[in-house]
Amino acid sequence: MPLALLPPDAAYAALQAHDARFDGRLYVGVTSTGIYCRPVCRVRLPRRENCRFFTTAAQAEAERFRPCMKCRPELAPRALAWTTMDASRTLAQQAAEWLDRCEDAEASVEGLARHLGITSRHLRRIFQAEHGVSPLQYLQTRRLLLAKALLTDSQLPVQEVAFAAGFASLRRFNAAFVEHYRLQPSALRREGGAAVPASRLRLAYRPPYDVAGVLAFLAPRAVAGVERVDADSITRSLALDHAGRRHAGWLRARFERAGEVSVELSATLWPAVGSLLPLLRRWLDLDADPDAIGAALGAGGVPGQRLPGCLDRFELSVRAVLGQQVTVAAARTLAGRFVERFGEPLAEAPEGCGRLFPTPERIAAATRDDIASLGIIGRRADSLIALAQAWPTLAFARREGAPEAAAEALTALPGIGPWTAAYMLMRGWSWPDAFPPGDVVLRKALSDGGPPVSPRAYLAAAERYRPFRSYAVLHLWRGA
Among 37, 51, 71, 102, the active-site one is 37
List of E strands, 266-414: none
Question: Reduced to 3 states, what is the DSSP secondary structure of residue 406?
Answer: helix
37 is catalytic: yes
**Cα distance between residue 355 and residue 264, in whole Å:** 18
Question: In which element (H, E) is residue 470 found?
Answer: helix 469-479
d(CA 170, CA 356): 33
Query: Of 100, 285, 312, 439, which is the active-site residue?
Result: 439
Strand segments, DSSP code E, in 186-244 are 200-204, 227-229, 233-242
Q: 459 in helix, strand or coil?
A: helix
Decide if 439 is catalytic.
Answer: yes
Taking the CB of residue 328, how many other CB atoms lie within 10 A of it? 12
Mutual angle of helices 87-100 and 120-131, in 10-degree steps: 90
The number of beta carbons lying within 10 Å of the beta carbon of residue 159 is 14
- Residue 12 CB: number of other CB atoms within 10 A? 19
Quote the longest CA-to-CA distance of the chain.
Answer: 72
Using DSSP, state whether 98 is helix, strand or coil: helix
Rg over alpha carbons for the chain, rounded to the nearest Å, is 23
**Of 74, 20, 23, which is closest to residue 202 (Cα–Cα)?**
74
Gap between the Cα atoms of 219 and 234, Å rounded? 9
Contact 342, 363 (CB under 8 A): yes
Instruction: Report how far apart, in Å, the C-alpha atoms of 29 and of each of 56, 60, 77 are.
Output: 11, 7, 18
Strand, coil or helix: 115: helix
User: Residues with catalytic annotation?
Assistant: 37, 439
